[in-house]
A and B are shown apart, each in its own frame.
Chain A
Amino acid sequence: MNVPEIYESMEYGPALESADVVRQWLDDHRDGFDHFINGAWCPPNFGSRFATRNPATGEVLGQVAKGDSADVIGAVSAAHKAQPRWAKLGGPGRARYLYAIARLLQKHARHLAVLETMDNGKPIRESRDVDLPLAVRHFYHHAGWAQLMPQELPGYEPLGVAGQIIPWNFPLLMLAWKLAPALAMGNTVVLKPAEYTPLTALRFAGICQEAGLPPGVVNIVTGDGATGAALTRQVAVDKVAFTGSTEVGREIRRETAGSGKKLTLELGGKGPFLVFDDADQDGAVEGLVDAIWFNQGQVCCAGSRLLVQENIHDGFIAKVKARMAGLRVGDPLDKAVDMGAIIDPVQRDRIESLVQAGVAEGATLWRPEGAMSDSLPKDGCFYPPTLLLDVETANVVAREEIFGPVLSVMSFRTPDEAVALANNSRYGLAASVWSENLNLAMDVAPKLRCGVVWINSSNLFDAAAGFGGYRESGFGREGGREGLYEYIKPVHEKSFKPVRTLPMPDTPPEPMGDGEGVDRTAKLYIGGKQTRPDSGYSQPIFSVKGKLVAHVGVGNRKDIRNAVAAAAKASHWAGMAGHARAQVLYFMAENLDARANEFKARIRALTGAKAGLAKREVEASISRLFTYAAWADKHDGAVHDVPLRGVVMAMHEPVGVLGLICPEPLPLLGLVSLLAPAIAMGNRVVIVPSYPLALLATDFYQVLDTSDVPGGVVNIVTGDGDDLAQVLAEHDEVDGVWYHGSDQGSRAVEAASIGNLKRTWVNNGLERDWFKVEQGEGREFLRQATNVKNVWTPYGD
């Protein structure tokens, strides 16, 4: 086209970013890329390589090493060897390296952006203006955390070696999210980039060399799913961090169950995007562009479910369509496109089949005309921006993550219905809320079951704010102070000992009918009522001398079901003020104190403890209740300092319904140590006391009954601990399980948790000293009892 023609038509022309420098770099590696292990380039074990392609053209960019177990073992042992020195270097020493990496990323920013766009297919505007600046920011921010670690995180130490597996949608940014906190806290890393997008990680390895990072601190092994699986299996890996699909996340949870490895999972989502009738609609339409047409919709926290208030539905959809008509799909290196290429034909086919399934289930498909220009490369992998109207909740496109530029539209009538529909999902990663009424928006945000809420915005990220999910979107946080705890552990964990099990009496039971008192029947405690066990069976409880003391009910899976239902129903407990919960905990302490002698006697009878020890246990239990009554209104969230005119509030929310499997020794203190932090933070609990001492727990419901604990907040089911733990761990309405028992039991709980990917906190067969305040109570327990939700609220009028 010549100038007068363009002057007439005012069309856009090609505006290509030059790829010359990157092409030269790729040429320099035409013999293939190696692994980066122990500070050096290592060819793959059997010389096996695979091609990585540019999805916009189909062109092969390079041959990349395919890691097998031997490669992984080599990398893990290099990391293992390097870790003690890296930790010993100290926070400030590590800060220098992280700072250097941040600087080097900036110096090579355009190279990395162009390379990312070629390997991934995302528009150069996004890799240049979003991925790179955020990655750089992550290293700067965590250089700061390394510097501050000695002062800000006393009593914590690194975990050791972190095995990290990252996805293809934000390759370098996810690398930064994984590496920066791990390295800052003194861990060494083996990172496995996604099979589709290994190149920026390999370029990053060069930056590690330029920064003079000690060998073995960062190791990069490329490969496919098998390589990643090999990494999660290594004994010397102390931490696994994974971002990717929920399906693979489940596999990793199963694989690492019982291994003692700490785990972070950042998985899929089906993010709701709520537009209320008092929203700035033009603003909300642009928010949608950021939500679902950013990165071709290949974003785990994409706003893929539009929930729009019914009274503005038609007008708003007209605006969405008009905006979609302006989206330009094209060569990702073109600086004037809005959408680039889909990562791989396999993904494109998956998107298309889900769209077709949605249409078959009643959705109405709409796409702008001419969204896909004829000039798109023939062998490129593109998919047009797509709108699915008339989607009902049962439609597959309302429930399944599509991971593409496809928006499903539904409507709602009231704020309550908006919340209900938004939460009608297995996932819980992120949500977006649009309303000019902050009263409404701030009311809705806490009700959404997800880890991130963007008010009048979407897809905002920053190193200082935690990111991560609820429900099947995973657990753990990345970014902010909350993200650091995923890479450290309390130093006192070293002193944990293998659990002791109390000996069962070996003498034949003496009959209890010795004429002392009335026969007592210890029932289950569900929904604030004493309940007979569903099984109709009881089991005997013996004194340490072998005397039959009483019978307790044998709870079964139906009792657990009932207890969980009661706990779920008592959700008002979460909404109560911390002050009000504190009153209940204080009252419990008061009533326990009033019955102190009774509990001392019971402890002595059941455990054979000397009078002094029994007294100490009861007193410690009362003190613990005081501790969490104190904490109930003090586990404050934070306001994160992000580069935004607005606030990011990190709110601490209860996890939900927790199953608590109590430790065996110190039956009262163990129970109180789990129960008190859980309910102080607003959780509702189902307690499984340890069987031989279950009577203490049933005694305890007398305390609950007299302390104004609302029915359903605390439920007690006696029976076989590991069997009931299994039922709790499998239950999809249970949000978390704390398990204190054997290592086999720990493994079983973690393995059984994969159904809804609930949070688990298990002792791995190790016992803490419950009497010690630093081990038996405090912030570690509060963190386990809460989820961090980051609510972003930009402001300005």
Chain B
Amino acid sequence: MKAVALSKRRKSKARATDGKSKPGRNPGMALDLDWVQSLRVNRSAVERRAATIPTRRSVKKQWQAAWLLKAISCIDLTTLAGDDTPGRVRRLCAKGRRPVRADILAALGAGDLDLRVGAICVYHEMVAPAVAALAGSGIPVAAVSTGFPAGLTPLETRLREIELSVAAGAAEIDIVISRRHVLCGDWQALYDEVVGYRQACGDAHLKTILATGELGTLRNVARASLVCMQAGADFIKTSTGKEPVNATLPVSLVMVRMIRAYGEQTGCQIGFKPAGGISTARDALSYQFLMREELGTDWLSPGLFRFGASSLLGDIERQLEHNVTGRYSAANRHPAG
């Protein structure tokens, strides 16, 4: 049984290496339950490491500016509100195209970076307006899907929702997993569900939201991360932003360590997206330190790293202006998103 699983693992590694021409796509592999069950996570050790991530590293001056600009390029600028309208989404998209005031960028010598956010993230009904507003910008539209945020609508509806969003122009699909499969230990069901989502996505990239705040233990977070990657997730994402606890550094540490383990085993680079509650430049830097320390610089670019955030950009803008002028900035000096 184990031997079979291992040989499948090796096979998928080979596939991934062959498919290097298509970076960022995870072909997935057969569900390896032995691997899933063997995972061990010591919560206190995780928390201790996570607590020193923000204190072991620091960036100042132009390094800080560059790192924050990089953070902007990784933001999935998000609006997921019941009162979203095409007008509201157009404003957000415009902000995504020009996230920082041109004079600030010029002062930083970064005018030629062609800085944009990583994606615009919306509900299905807002996909079309967003796609229209972003035409020509190269910024992808991400749609939250599969009965977001609870994921308890009929499977048929969830699959259809993905297909409709892809048809409407979404290049990335942020699905929510069925927490009940994790809590009941039904890894096969979780695997099958995500495999189905992945098929429905077609060429659209699949981000799987684990809703870690509802999974109970860090072990469950690790196991769910691995099952989603085995099922073909291109990104694993912490939270919907609607759980009582959203992205935290300890949860993120567990997930990025699973990304590393999966990469070591298969050769595939899986992306990571913390979401919910990341609202300050300082938070953003902490997550960047986490990615760089645990996975390396590859994971600092939007291909493999996104922030799910709505108010983060504003704080970074103020920080960048401070970096240029030496004066603390105010929100009204920056275009609203």
Contacts and interface: CB of A to CB of B under 8 A. Distances in A.
Contacts of B58: 15, 335-336
Contact of A7 (B43, B66, B217, B292): B66
B45 A283 contact: yes
B56 A283 contact: no
B61 A436 contact: no
Contacts of B57: 12, 335-336
Interface in B201-232: 217-219
B63 interface: yes
Interface string B57-87: 1111111011101100000000000000000
Interface stretch (B23-31, B108-116, B268-276, B310-318): B108-116
B21 interface: no
B300 interface: yes
A512 to B, nearest CB: 71
Interface in A1-32: 1-7, 9-16
A137 interface: no
Interface string B31-46: 0000000001111111
A286 interface: yes
A646 B47 CA distance: 13
Contacts of A280: 40-42, 45-46
Nearest to B63: A13
A129 interface: yes
A107 interface: no
A279 interface: yes
B114 to A, nearest CB: 11
A4 B109 contact: yes
Contacts of B109: 2-4
A279 B44 contact: no
A578 interface: no
A1 B300 contact: no
Nearest to A460: B48
A286 B49 contact: yes
A617 B163 CA distance: 95
Given A125-B55, A797-B218, A15 B43 contact: no
Interface in A518-551: none
A542 to B, nearest CB: 67
Interface in A265-292: 278-284, 286-287, 290
A14 B64 CA distance: 10
Interface residues of A, number: 40
A456 interface: yes
B257 A282 contact: yes
Given A6-B66, A278-B40, A336-B57, A284 B113 contact: no
Contacts of B65: 3
Contacts of B110: 3-4, 7
B62 A1 contact: yes
B48 A796 contact: no
Contacts of B137: none
A338 interface: yes
B199 interface: no
A457 interface: yes
Given A3-B109, A4-B112, A13-B61, A457 B66 contact: no
B45 to A, nearest CB: 3
A133 to B, nearest CB: 12
Given A280-B45, A287-B45, A436-B42, A336 B257 contact: no
B44 A10 contact: no
Contacts of A283: 41-42, 45-46, 49
A9 B67 CA distance: 10
Interface in A321-337: 326, 335-336
A13 B60 contact: yes
A794 interface: yes
A797 to B, nearest CB: 5
A7 B59 contact: no
A284 B113 CA distance: 41
A127 to B, nearest CB: 12
- Is chain B's interface secondary structure helix, strand, loop, or mixed overall? helix
B125 interface: no
B69 A796 contact: no
B295 to A, nearest CB: 10
Contacts of B67: 6, 10
A279 B40 contact: yes
A645 interface: yes
Interface string A224-242: 0000000000000000000
Contacts, number: 104
A457 B46 CA distance: 10
Given A3-B110, A6-B62, A13-B63, A457 B48 contact: yes
Contacts of B62: 1-3, 6, 13
A7 B45 CA distance: 32
B293 interface: yes
B325 interface: no
B69 to A, nearest CB: 6
B59 A15 contact: yes
Contact of A796 (B47, B112, B297): B47
A646 B63 contact: no
A649 to B, nearest CB: 16
A663 B297 CA distance: 72
Interface in A38-70: none
A780 B22 CA distance: 74
Contacts of B56: 125, 336, 338
A12 B112 contact: no
Contacts of B44: 456-457, 645-646, 794-796
Nearest to B44: A794
Contact of A284 (B45, B217, B292): B45
A335 B60 CA distance: 10
Contacts of A11: 63
Nearest to A287: B45
A494 B56 CA distance: 54
A215 B108 CA distance: 57
Contacts of A645: 44
Contacts of B70: 7, 10
A1 B66 CA distance: 10
A331 to B, nearest CB: 13
Interface string A453-469: 00011000000000000
B69 A3 contact: yes
Contacts of A6: 62-63, 66-67
A461 to B, nearest CB: 13
A2 B55 CA distance: 24
Interface in A107-159: 125, 129
Given A284-B45, A286-B45, A13 B59 contact: yes
A719 to B, nearest CB: 54
Nearest to A646: B44
Contacts of A12: 57, 59, 63
A30 to B, nearest CB: 30
A3 B45 contact: no
Contacts of A2: 62, 109
Contacts of B49: 283, 286
B164 to A, nearest CB: 37
Contact of A436 (B40, B63, B108, B300): B40
Contacts of B297: 9-10
Nearest to B108: A3
Given A2-B62, A10-B66, A280-B42, 5 more contacts: A3-B69, A3-B109, A12-B59, A280-B41, A286-B45
Interface of B: 40-49, 52, 55-63, 65-67, 69-70, 108-110, 112-113, 217-219, 257, 292-293, 297, 300
15 contacts: A1-B62, A3-B66, A3-B69, A6-B66, A7-B69, A7-B70, A10-B67, A10-B292, A12-B57, A13-B61, A280-B41, A283-B42, A286-B45, A335-B57, A795-B44
Closest 9 CB pairs of A and B: A283-B45, A794-B44, A13-B63, A6-B66, A796-B43, A280-B42, A15-B58, A335-B58, A283-B42
